[in-house]
Amino acid sequence: MGLSERRKIKDLQDTSFPAREQEIAEICGVAIPYEVDWDSFADDMEALNFVDNLSCHRLNMALRMICMDAMGKEAVREGLKRVKLRNVKAKDQMAMQFDGGVLSMACAYALRTDGMFNDGEIRQLLMDKL
């Protein structure tokens, strides 16, 4: 991992992810932490550049739709406890699951929008299991 990647990871850890967690708290009433497999991003600057938009932003868009009323907000507060993100290299390695209060997304971030789950897919998975 080079200096550029280390700087980007530090910026994501210190700025982007805390801001996204705060945004989630504003949407549903509770902060939900991110757990990121940083090692999976270590040699992939392109993925680091897109993780915020392709996962965090999409999740927040999905949560806005789910949390449009008190019942949705309560379901998210009670059911979603953590979000795990992992970078994969290829589209066929992508996976998304929601079990035990943990939303796990393995995305091919370097593929940009070809390597993500859209907010509709995220919303549907959460709504099916909340």
Domain count, the chain: 1
Model confidence pLDDT, tens digit, residues 27-83: 999 999 999 999 999 999 999 999 999 999 999 999 999 999 999 999 999 999 999
Instruction: Please tell me the predicted confidence (pLDDT) of residue 45.
Output: 96
Reported confidence tier of residue 1, pLDDT bands at 50, 70, 90: confident
Sheet holding 34-36, edge to edge: 34-36, 82-87, 102-107, 95-99
- Residues 72-103: tens digit of each pLDDT: 999 999 999 999 999 999 999 999 999 999 99
pLDDT > 90? residue 22: yes
Tokens linked to 100: 């035990």
Sort strands 95-99 and 102-107 into parallel, antiparallel or unpaired. Answer: antiparallel
Domain that holds residue 36: 3-129
Which amino acid belongs to residue 115? G
pTM of the model: 0.95
